[in-house]
Chains A and B, each alone.
Chain A
Amino acid sequence: GIQVEQSPPDLILQEGANSTLRCNFSDSVNNLQWFHQNPWGQLINLFYIPSGTKQNGRLSATTVATERYSLLYISSSQTTDSGVYFCAVDTTGANNLFFGTGTRLTVIP
């Protein structure tokens, strides 16, 4: 089956810093999504981005499908950005998303 690797596994930032989270996948995908799980366990969809670049406020994401990776950029980080960021991909066309193991981000004031 497909392998999804996220790096780094853990990241600690000072408030206001920028960061880049990476997601590598081992096979061609037709769907890629980024999620944020906050410290209370809520999963929020950040981006649906099978290819190209999207921006939403301080967050942006780029997927280079031909090279099998996606990047999530967080600028001017805030303490509310803390939590686990998951990348999830699908190869079936049925939105059968396979999740990576996540990057745990801690933003300290």
Chain B
Amino acid sequence: DTAVSQTPKYLVTQMGNDKSIKCEQNLGHDTMYWYKQDSKKFLKIMFSYNNKELIINETVPNRFSPKSPDKAHLNLHINSLELGDSAVYFCASSLGIEKLFFGSGTQLSVL
């Protein structure tokens, strides 16, 4: 199936731990993103990569580091997790500025 897929779907961890979320798209898109959806359902962009180059880096703590090994992958690594990091994280991709396609989300719970 052509899609944006991210793993894991659920991530439960303790404060202070380091975790990663993986994202892959097979749509042939050149731009990939990470979005964060908080408990009030507000969606906010975190990062955007175009052809492996960082394009958008919104005000996000340094503990969050995206890594794009190639155009089809954009992973998110989070260091020293805090309670406030609990949210749903969505990966997305697009061809240029056209339609954005989202993955199914990763529910991160920090205890």
Contacts and interface: CB of A to CB of B under 8 A. Distances in A.
Interface SS majority for chain B: strand
Contacts of A41: 88, 104-105
Contacts of A33: 99-100
Scoring A86, A97, A101 by chain B CB atoms within 10 A of each residue's CB, the highest score goes to A97
Contacts of B102: 35, 42-45
B43 A86 contact: yes
A42 B105 CA distance: 7
Given A94-B48, A102-B41, A43 B99 contact: no
What is the interface residue range for chain A against chain B?
20 to 34
B5 to A, nearest CB: 12
Interface of B: 31, 33, 41-45, 48, 50, 55-56, 88, 90, 92, 94, 96-102, 104-105
